[in-house]
């Protein structure tokens, strides 16, 4: 097991049901508690645990959600989760729920649960390469922490969960195997996160998300923002922007942007709450996916999971849920009692379904940005037209918004919106009442919209 982050922990949990011993090789300190880790530079940014991620965590670690809440995570439901598009509030979905906590808090609790497993052995070190014979991987080479020496641990199955920095493609090509094709979309995203001391200033609100629609080239782009309650009586606030509008770690600029928001919750936090610590800025230049499922030849005994397979625009919050679903794909693969000397084609085929869904959601939004130059998928114009109508209908129609949430939270595949029933729901929603156009405020439209759900968790 290469990497002990969320994707690695979930995969290790699955492996523990099938292996006599699971070895996790992790470069960061293994006893770092719930703090941020150097190997996850985005760790301090706001993360969202989408509902399918919560379901999968509870599947593999029974009672995990309850454990998080008992330890200080916040549970938001219905009207406590508010979503705005261009300053207009979306209609609420009563049974929508979100668990809100920081990424280190969630990962720390997962790590402690895995450390209780007798079949798991931890190695503090850095993976350096793979031993590969004519057909399969036979071992992993690594350097123990603080040492330049290289040691080897033998293996029947290696899972690469080393994230965006994965060197798996290099390792297999150096051993004479073909490199998987990688798809890349340049997005030039920047986001900055800050923690504030939380008081009663927002009442029962647990999370607020404000999305800004893309504007025409040359026009000023508004910020997208999100705020969530997290453990230890804090708010975590993120501002996201693209290209030359990326936020920085400048304190005054961060507060100025919050005060400029159309949504009062962000202005309230900027004016009423104490900023804790420094602003943490992070840049993500591109989304990418590695198409292992398209390879004709690949070593047996080797799979990848999490960001080592695909890394998406984090604005859509799919990372943790995708990693958890990859673990379930691994479970299904191992439960079929495969020959580990052969390529794990069935595993990669199932993972590709999850990647396709998440990639489609995030890249359709990215392609609407004027600075993103593609590549454009087949049928993009039709999909863009339909996506805009779905988004508009979801502002005012709870049934459409509920279906939208199912897709965003990865409970259902995006293709659900191509069904006649879904298309009819969208059209009825658009006809029911006037739907605000992009960049129209509530005062400009005269539309009174109920409280809304947190549709796309950061």
Domain annotation covers residue 176: yes
Residue 275 located in a structural domain? no
In sequence order, what are the beta bridge partners of 152?
Answer: 141
Residue 316 DSSP label:
G
Report phi then psi at 116, rounded to 5. -85, -5
Domain closes at, from 330, 359, 388: 359
Average pLDDT per consecutive 10 residues, the chain (458 residues; last block may be shorter): 94 97 90 54 69 94 96 94 94 91 92 93 95 96 94 97 94 95 93 96 96 82 92 95 92 96 97 95 92 97 97 86 96 97 97 94 88 88 90 94 93 92 93 56 34 30
The CATH number of the domain where 121 resides is what?
3.50.50.60
Which residues lie closer than 8 Å to 401 by C-beta, 6 or more apart?
90, 91, 93, 394, 395, 452, 453, 455
| Res 343: pLDDT | 97
- Domain end residue (candidates: 329, 359, 389): 359
User: H helices of 368-419, where?
Assistant: 380-396, 398-408
Q: How many CB atoms lie within 10 A of CB 364?
A: 17
Query: Is residue 173 situated within a structural domain?
Result: yes
**Structurally, how many domains does the chain consist of?**
2
Identify whether residues 106 and 31 lie together within a single domain: yes
Same domain for 158 and 18?
Answer: yes
Closest by CA to 136, choosing from 168, 177, 101, is 177
Q: Apex CA 452: angle with CA 448 and CA 453, to 5°? A: 170
Domain match, 355 and 384 both: no
- Dihedral sign of CA atoms 215, 220, 221, 227 in order: negative
For residues 312 and 172, membership in a common domain is answered with yes
Together in a domain, 430 and 319: no
Long-range contacts of 248-254 (CB under 8 A, 24+ apart): 248/190, 248/192, 248/279, 248/281, 249/192, 249/278, 249/279, 249/280, 249/281, 250/279, 251/275, 251/278, 251/279, 254/192, 254/194, 254/279
56 within a domain of the structure (yes/no): no
Q: Is residue 210 part of a domain?
A: no
In a domain, 77, yes or no: no
- Sequential DSSP letters for 317-362: --HHHHHHHHHHHHHHHHHT---TTS--HHHHHHHHHHHHHHHHHH
- With vertex at residue 204, the alpha carbon angle to CA 201 and CA 210, rounded to the nearest 5 degrees, is 75
Beta strands in 43-108 (DSSP E): 74-77, 81-85, 88-89, 97-100
Q: Are residues 303 and 420 in the same domain?
A: no
Residue 175 shares a structural domain with residue 128: yes
Residues 392 and 345 in one domain: no
Instruction: Write down the pLDDT at residue 218.
Output: 76
Q: Which domain holds residue 151?
A: 6-40+102-183+288-359
Q: Indicate if 349 and 389 belong to the same structural domain.
A: no
408/349 same-domain check = no
Interatomic CA distance for residues 117 and 115, integer angstroms? 5
pLDDT for residue 445: 35
In a shared domain, residues 110 and 173: yes
Pair 27, 150 in one domain: yes
Q: Residue 455 has what pLDDT?
A: 28
Q: In this structure, is residue 21 part of a structural domain? A: yes
Q: Is residue 139 part of a domain?
A: yes
């Amino acid at each position: 097991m290469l990497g002990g982050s969320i994707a690695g922990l979930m995969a290790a949990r699955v492996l523990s049901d099938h292996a006599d011993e699971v070895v996790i090789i992790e470069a960061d300190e293994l006893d770092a508690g719930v703090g941020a880790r150097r190997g996850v530079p985005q760790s301090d940014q706001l993360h969202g645990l989408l509902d399918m991620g919560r379901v999968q965590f509870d599947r593999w670690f029974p009672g995990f959600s309850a454990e998080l809440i008992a330890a200080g995570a916040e549970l938001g439901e219905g009207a406590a989760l508010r979503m705005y598009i261009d300053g207009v509030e979306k209609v609420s979905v009563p049974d929508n729920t979100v668990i809100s906590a920081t990424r280190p808090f969630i990962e720390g609790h997962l790590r402690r649960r895995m450390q209780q497993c007798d079949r798991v052995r931890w190695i503090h070190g850095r993976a350096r390469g793979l031993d590969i014979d004519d057909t399969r991987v036979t071992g992993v080479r690594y350097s123990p922490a603080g040492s330049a020496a290289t040691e080897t641990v033998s293996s029947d199955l290696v899972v690469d969960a080393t994230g965006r920095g994965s060197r798996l493609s290099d390792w297999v090509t150096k051993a004479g195997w073909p490199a998987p094709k990688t798809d890349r979309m340049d997005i030039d995203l920047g986001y900055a996160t800050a923690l504030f001391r939380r008081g009663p200033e927002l009442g029962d609100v647990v999370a607020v998300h404000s999305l800004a629609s893309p504007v025409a080239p040359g026009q000023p782009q508004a910020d997208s923002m999100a705020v969530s309650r997290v453990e230890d009586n804090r708010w975590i606030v993120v501002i996201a922007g693209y290209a030359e509008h990326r936020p920085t770690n400048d304190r005054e600029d961060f507060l100025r942007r919050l005060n400029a928001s159309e949504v009062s919750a962000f202005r309230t936090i900027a004016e009423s709450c104490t900023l804790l610590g420094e602003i943490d800025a992070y840049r993500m230049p591109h989304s990418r996916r590695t198409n292992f499922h398209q390879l004709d030849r690949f070593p047996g005994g080797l799979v990848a999971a999490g960001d080592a397979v695909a890394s998406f625009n984090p604005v859509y919050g799919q990372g943790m849920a995708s990693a958890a679903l990859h673990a379930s794909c691994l479970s299904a693969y191992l439960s079929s009692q495969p020959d580990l000397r052969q390529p794990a084609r069935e595993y990669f085929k199932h993972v590709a379904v999850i990647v396709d869904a998440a990639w489609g959601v995030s890249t359709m939004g990215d392609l609407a940005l004027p600075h993103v130059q593609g590549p454009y998928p087949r049928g993009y114009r039709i999909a863009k037209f339909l996506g805009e109508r779905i988004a508009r209908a979801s502002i005012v129609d709870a049934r459409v918004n509920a279906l939208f949430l199912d897709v965003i939270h990865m409970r259902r595949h995006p293709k659900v919106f191509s069904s006649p029933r879904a298309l009819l729901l969208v059209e009825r929603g658009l006809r029911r009442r006037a739907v605000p156009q992009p960049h129209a405020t509530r005062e400009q439209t005269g539309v009174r919209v109920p409280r809304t759900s947190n549709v796309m968790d950061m």
